Amino acid sequence: MASPSWPLTLFGTLALAATLGKADNTDVFNFAINLECLEGQFYSYAAFGQYPNTSLLAGGPLATGGQKARLSPAVQTIAAEFARDEVAHLAFLRKAAGAAAVPCPQIDIGGSFNAVIKAALGSRAGDNVFSPYTNDVNFLLSAFLFEDVGATAFAGAIPVLTGPVATGAAAGILGVEAYHGGLLRQWLFNNGDLIVQPYGIQIVSFVQALSDLRAKVGGGKDEGITIPSATASIYGPNVLNFFQANIVPADIDAKIFARTPQEVLAIAYGGDATKPGAFFPSGLNGSIR
C-alpha cells in the first residue's frame, strides 16, 4: 500500500535533533502517539474484544486483525490493566500535543505477529501460523514484543525534550512501560521451561529469538530473560547459578537502554526504518518540523 505524505514521522526531525540537541516536543509526543495507538488497540482487543475509545483514534482507522484473546483469569487481569494504561497514555499525549496531535495510523494487530515470529524463528517456525489471541503464552510473548521497546523509546526521547513538564511526563510513562515489561519478563522467566505449541520450543528460547531479532534491527540494544554471559562473567563461575534470571534488561551500568527513533521504527516496521510494514503497513503519522 502506498504511504501517505507524512509517514516518515520524526525520522528526519529527530535525526536533526541528534545534531542540534533538542527536538520539538510536539513532534516527540506525536511519535509516541503512534506507538500508543498500537499498544492501546492491541491490549483492548485482547482483553475486551473491541476498542471502545474510538474518539482517541482522532479520525484514524481502527486496527485490523484484533480479537478477544482466550486468556486465563489471571492473564485477563494483566491484559485489562495494560489496556487501561495504554489508552490513558494515548489520551494524555493527545492533550499534550494539542491541536497538532496526529490521528492514529493504519495498524495491523493480526498477521503482523505471524510475520515477526517467522522472522525471529526462521526455519524453526515451520508452517505454523502464530496468533497472539490463542492462549496466555502467545499473548504474553506478543506483549513482550512491545513493552521493552516502549520503555527504550521513551528513554531515548527524554534527552531531546525541552522543559521539566515534558521530560517529567515522558519519564512517568517510561516508568509504567518498564513496570509492564518487568511483569512480562518475570512471568515468562518463571514459566521458561514450558513448550510453546505447536513450535516445540521452550518459552525461554522463544523469548531469546524475539530479543535477538529486536537487537538485530534495533541497534543491538536488547536482552532475553536469562542473564547474558558477559554480565555473568563479572561475578565469576562459582556464583553463576545464582544469577540466571534477567528480569531487567539494562546496559553494563544497569541503566535502561535508550533507542533512537530509527531503531524504534526498524522494529515497528519489521526490519527497515525507511520501509513501512509489519505493525504499521502505511507508516507512522507525524510532521517533520
Please indicate, yes or no, if residue 276 is contained in any of the structural domains. no
Q: Which residue has the higher pLDDT, 22 or 204?
A: 204
Closest by Cα among 148, 216, 173 to 28: 173
Q: Which residue has the higher pLDDT, 8 or 250?
A: 250
Please indicate, yes or no, if residue 191 is contained in any of the structural domains. yes
Which ranges in the chain belong to alpha helices (H)?
Answer: 11-20, 25-48, 73-97, 111-121, 136-157, 164-190, 203-217, 229-232, 261-268
Q: Helix or strand or coil: residue 126?
A: coil
The count of domains in the chain is 1
d(CA 14, CA 181): 25
CA atoms within 13 A of residue 101's CA, in its CB half-sphere: 24
**Per-residue model confidence (pLDDT) at position 265:** 93
Please indicate, yes or no, if residue 279 is contained in any of the structural domains. no
DSSP assignments along 248-287, one per residue: S---TTS------HHHHHHHHTTS-TTS-BTTBTT-----
Please indicate, yes or no, if residue 286 is contained in any of the structural domains. no
Confidence bin at 287 (pLDDT 50/70/90): low
Q: For residue 81, what are the domain limits?
A: 11-268
Q: Which residue has the higher pLDDT, 239 or 148?
A: 148
Please indicate, yes or no, if residue 277 is contained in any of the structural domains. no
User: At residue 237, does pLDDT exceed 90?
Assistant: no
Percent of the chain with pLDDT over 70: 86
**Per-residue model confidence (pLDDT) at position 288:** 39
User: Do 93 and 39 form a contact (C-beta atoms < 8 A)?
Assistant: no
Please indicate, yes or no, if residue 195 is contained in any of the structural domains. yes
**Per-residue model confidence (pLDDT) at position 227:** 78
Return the number of other C-beta atoms located less than 10 Å from residue 110's C-beta: 17
Please indicate, yes or no, if residue 20 is contained in any of the structural domains. yes
User: Do 173 and 256 form a contact (C-beta atoms < 8 A)?
Assistant: no
Summarised one tens digit per residue, pLDDT across range 66-102 is 999 999 999 999 999 999 999 999 999 999 999 999 9
d(CA 138, CA 71): 10
Exposed / middle / buried, residue 95 (Cβ in 10 Å: 0-12, 13-18, 19+): exposed
The rounded mean pLDDT for the chain is 88
What 8-state DSSP symbol labels residue 57?
G
Confidence bin at 9 (pLDDT 50/70/90): very low
Kindly calculate the radius of gyration of the chain based on its CA atoms and give it in whole angstroms: 18
Please indicate, yes or no, if residue 284 is contained in any of the structural domains. no
User: Kindly report the CA angle at 55 between 134 and 165, in degrees rounded to 5?
Assistant: 100
pTM, full prediction: 0.88
